[in-house]
Amino acid sequence: MLNSGPFVTSAVLAGLETFLKARGTTFADVVAGAKLSHDEVVPSDHKEIPLEHVVAILNAAAVLTNSPCFGAEWAESYPRGATGAFGYLLMNAATVEEALRVTVRYLSLVIHPVAIELVFEDHAAVLSWRLSAGLQGRATQYALFAAGATICGLRRVAGGDWNPEIVELPGPELPCRALLRRVMGPTVVFDCVRTRIVIGIDSLGRRNEFADPQLFALIRELGDRMLKERATETPLAQVVRQAISRRLGTSDVSLETIAEALDLAPRTLQSRLAAEETSFEAVLQLTRQRLAESYLRDTNLPLTEIALLLGFSELSAFTRASLRWFKKPPSALRQHLRLADNAPSH
């Protein structure tokens, strides 16, 4: 079945297994409670998953941990930098205003499509977004997580004493005011049409004492390239890339097998991709390229193992592809990307 999204990087679930274990349950139990399979949501595969899966997981986690504000708890403990380029850009933004602009420009690297706005008013800046009508009514925990993680990221830039002026959330009022005050600040309003975070205009210039300008510039270059690639990707190509990424390294990723997974005839899939001015081979290569960057930047896996995960039969084939994609062999590219690992832990 074709899933039109939104999609999120599975990195949003990074560390959740440990977090759940400390609260007396397991990731496997939560996945089962969400009526999903482990293969659909496994966080370590550097792939994207439907947002509706994350919504279901957080809802199940709230039930199994008996926490009506589980999403906010998870946001408070979410690992810094787990979302890759977006996370490192936010960590190294020079000011609160720059962090807000980073959020608007690069959030689509974490969730897409996404409709997010930043409006500057006389006395405040307002960051806002809204989920689709089909998700909004059942995404209370995700709304808490998204707002909480955003505010915690901004607080690391502004300093630990900072809070937004007002946070507006969809959904009914929840019985965990102390937790919400700690995570989101003193003024949280419920039953709103969309999520809104109101930031006082006088705090926009607060500076991030841990920012690394050189690292910020490096990751921004990577983020801009990723945005450009995404902007040229058609809706069907996105779905095909999802199907490929779920199977690379474990199953056949031929045109025939991917078409079967999408309930399409191979010729139909081929012709529809051609109508969108792309091809199955082009989508396959772009998928491998993106996953290669993720594996090299975010894991310590040996290069031979990464080659196998990308569907190459041997390291030399991966090396040739890396030279074609990045003008660097895998070892040099890993060293280049690992500059992000030296980001300050704050």
Give residue-wise pLDDT tens across range 220-270.
Answer: 998 898 888 777 667 788 888 888 887 887 778 899 999 888 888 888 898
| Overall average pLDDT of the 165-173 stretch | 94
C-alpha to C-alpha distance for 236 and 185, rounded to whole angstroms: 41
| Overall average pLDDT of the 36-51 stretch | 71
In the chain, which residues fall in CATH 3.90.1520?
7-203
C-alpha to C-alpha distance for 95 and 293, rounded to whole angstroms: 28
Structure tokens at 8: 């999120």
Q: Reply yes or no: is the peptide bond before residue 6 cis, omega within 30 of 0.
A: yes
Structure tokens at 31: 């996945």
* Residues 6 or more apart whose Cβ sits within 8 Å of residue 327: none
C-alpha to C-alpha distance for 194 and 20, rounded to whole angstroms: 28
| Burial per residue of 215-243, b for 16 or more beta-carbon CB atoms within 10 angstroms, e otherwise | bbebbbebbeebbeeeeebeebbbbbbbb
Tell me the residue type at 57. I
Q: Which of 82, 227, 71 is nearest to 153 (CA)?
A: 82
Share of the chain above pLDDT 90, in %: 53
Residue 322, exposed/middle/buried by CB under 10 A (0-12, 13-18, 19+)?
buried
User: What would the CATH number be for the domain defined by 232-342?
Assistant: 1.10.10.60
Residues 132, 138, 142, 143: is their CA dihedral positive or negative? positive
Beta strands in 5-80 (DSSP E): 7-9, 48-50
Residue 5: pLDDT over 70: no
Residue listed under structure tokens 């009506």: 68
| Overall average pLDDT of the 2-15 stretch | 77
Q: How many residues does the chain have?
A: 346
Query: 1 falls in which pLDDT band (50, 70, 90)?
Result: very low
Task: Report whether 280 contacts 270 (CB < 8 A).
Answer: yes
Report CA-CA distances (Å) from 138 to 59, 131, 142: 8, 10, 9
Structure tokens at 191: 């039953």
Residue 54: pLDDT over 60: yes
pLDDT tens figures, 181-219? 999 999 999 999 899 999 999 999 999 999 999 999 989
Q: What is the pLDDT of residue 203?
A: 96
C-alpha to C-alpha distance for 169 and 191, rounded to whole angstroms: 6
| Overall average pLDDT of the 303-319 stretch | 91
Structure tokens at 41: 């949501």
Q: What is the pLDDT of residue 45?
A: 47
Task: Report whether 200 contacts 165 (CB < 8 A).
Answer: yes
* Residues 6 or more apart whose Cβ sits within 8 Å of residue 202: none
Torsion of CA 156, 161, 66, 70, to 10 degrees: -30
In the chain, which residues fall in CATH 1.10.10.60?
232-342
For strands 166-168 and 188-189, give the pairing: parallel
Residue 330: pLDDT over 60: yes
DSSP letter (8 states) at residue 23: T
DSSP letter (8 states) at residue 341: G
Task: Report whether 154 contacts 96 (CB < 8 A).
Answer: yes
Q: Which one of 3.90.1520, 2.60.40, 3.30.70, 3.10.450 gives the CATH number of domain 7-203?
A: 3.90.1520
- What backbone torsions phi and psi does residue 116 show, to the nearest 5 degrees? -125, 140
Task: Look at residue 322 and give its three-state secondary structure.
Answer: helix
**How many CB atoms within 10 Å of residue 313?**
9
Q: What is the pLDDT of residue 42?
A: 63
Query: 117 falls in which pLDDT band (50, 70, 90)?
Result: very high
